[in-house]
Amino acid sequence: MRDWNLTATSLKKVGHARRILSFAADGRAICRLPPAMSELLLPLAYMAPLAVVLLLYVYRWRTREARAAATLRRAVKSGLTEPPSLHPVINLDICVGSGACTRACPEGTLGIVQGKAHMVNPTVCIGHGACAAACPVEAIKLVFGTERRGVDIPHVKPNFETNVAGIYIAGELGGMGLIRNAAEQGRQAIESIAHNRAQQGQLDVVIVGAGPAGFSATLAAMQHKLRFVTLEQENSMGGCVYHYPRNKIVATHPVTLPLVGKVRLGEITKENLLAFWQGIIGKVSVPITFGERLDAIVPVDRGFVVKTERNEYHCRSLLLAIGRRGSPRKLGVPGEELPKVVYRLIDPEQYRGKRVLVVGGGNAAIETAIAIAAEPGSHVTLSYRNEAFNRVTERNRELLKEAEGAGQLTLALCTTVKLIDERQVVLDRDGKATAMDNDAVIVCVGGVLPTPMLKKIGIAVETKFGTA
């Protein structure tokens, strides 16, 4: 028998401690095993916790891989495989599967599948490149578009002027996404525009869009005491941010806002960020014309005429800060101008107890219909012109079925909207009209992208198919 100078606690870790140990009066453990076995016991005692840690690590790794593979399968099955704009491309020959990119990505776009990083949920990528910055072996580069889906990027000079003298582009429309970048560009574009003052009877600049780029540009225009208007097609400011999901955590880098100074918000909810901007609007009386959409730009001698549904503005320069989402596509039916017709769901609660028609067949339409159907007392009719929903997620299909089964939602496939009035809507199916009582209409039939308008006024645009 061998007398080891060990405490019982450390040996108990290998199990069966009672059978192989006895304890001396001073509390020391005495090993009863034959010497050869007891020689092995000490290394085993130390290896066991290591083995447990290793097993846990492998288990977690495999669970994450399985989850990522399942997400990828769902995306492929739903046809949601194309990232919207700027996105990472991973060189699988270089990738070592460290997982640094998946941890850095706040949107859940990336996952490790078979030991390598992949875009498992491509449609949610917002292109801020945190993944590329985190990759330890530089296996990731950021590109616009894919082989199948081109992305139009206008040519913009370092001072943000396009090839059409006097027309400037800032923010996501120019290919540079993210709140901080858009805000910085809006400010810098106005600094360039401020050198080019208007003639009599002209505005110095018309700023189009009140997202981060247009908002910052508006503050800069105030700071430089320019004569300007800012037009925003929606009735709210914030651009893309206004349409983030409720309570989304927004990660922003510090940014310098004209008239405000350096702003460090870090991680903040969408609602608090919007409230912060609203606070600035209140404090410095930022003049933004809401609910007015730019429809056409006509070049004239030393300037432009900017046309909206309501007005014409004569200006020396024009700053397009209109993002990439475009304007909502309209149905073009009688009654569409009624205030009960909107193009985006803001808050499902406002439709509680109401009869709502949702028009469209994509994920946006289905998510809108499901959200409203869940409100007590509401009933939703989902009108779609085709006979089946393509390119929607499996989860949305399931939720749609559940809502339909619960009687909260009626599917009206192969229908189009014929007419909207104060109290009813009329749907057409194969030439047969059906009228139904209705309190609200939400149209989710996609958007009209800004590119055709840019091309029409001669702005050079390059379509990128997976290039930087």
Ligand X SMILES: Cc1cc2nc3c(=O)[nH]c(=O)nc-3n(C[C@H](O)[C@H](O)[C@H](O)COP(=O)(O)OP(=O)(O)OC[C@H]3O[C@@H](n4cnc5c(N)ncnc54)[C@H](O)[C@@H]3O)c2cc1C
User: Which residues form the interface with ligand SF4 (CB under 6 A)?
Assistant: 87-88, 104-105, 107, 109-110, 125-131
- CA dihedral (46, 47, 52, 54) in degrees, to 10, reads 130
The residue from 197, 307, 325, 354 that contacts ligand X (CB under 6 A) is: 325
Q: Which residues are CB-neighbours of 426 under 8 A, at least 6 positions away?
A: 417, 418, 419, 420, 433, 434, 435, 436
178 lines the binding site for ligand X (CB under 6 A): yes
Q: Which residues are CB-neighbours of 180 under 8 A, at least 6 positions away?
A: 212, 252, 253, 254, 255
Give least dist CB 130 to ligand SF4, A: 4
The residue from 153, 213, 297, 409 that contacts ligand X (CB under 6 A) is: 213
Nearer to ligand X, 83 or 438 (CB): 83
Contact (Cβ atoms closer than 8 angstroms) between residue 210 and residue 228 = no
Q: Of 237-276, which residues contact ligand X (CB under 6 A)?
A: 239-241, 244, 250-252
Of ligand SF4, ligand X, none, which one sits near residue 232, judging by CB under 5 to 8 A according to partner kind? ligand X
**Quick one: tokens of 281?**
């609007």
Closest CA to 384 of 369, 371, 403: 369
Query: Phi and psi (nearest 5°) for 370?
Result: -65, -45
Nearer to ligand X, 172 or 375 (CB): 172
Nearer to ligand SF4, 177 or 238 (CB): 177
Nearer to ligand SF4, 167 or 178 (CB): 178
Give least dist CB 421 to ligand SF4, A: 44
Largest CA distance in the chain: 107
Phi-psi region for residue 15, left (φ > 0), alpha (ψ -120 to 50) or beta? left
Of ligand X, ligand SF4, none, which one sits near residue 109, judging by CB under 5 to 8 A according to partner kind? ligand SF4
The residue from 140, 207, 210, 286 that contacts ligand X (CB under 6 A) is: 210
Helices (H) and strands (E) in the chain, counts: 11, 30
Nearer to ligand X, 29 or 229 (CB): 229
Residue 86 CA, chain-centre distance (Å), reads 12
Residues in the chain: 468
214 lines the binding site for ligand X (CB under 6 A): yes
DSSP state of 149: S
Nearer to ligand X, 254 or 353 (CB): 254
Binding residues for ligand X, total number by CB under 6 A = 33
The residue from 145, 177, 258, 360 that contacts ligand X (CB under 6 A) is: 177
Q: Which residues bind ligand X (CB under 6 A)?
A: 126, 171-172, 177-180, 182, 208-214, 231-234, 239-241, 244, 250-252, 293-294, 321-323, 325, 327
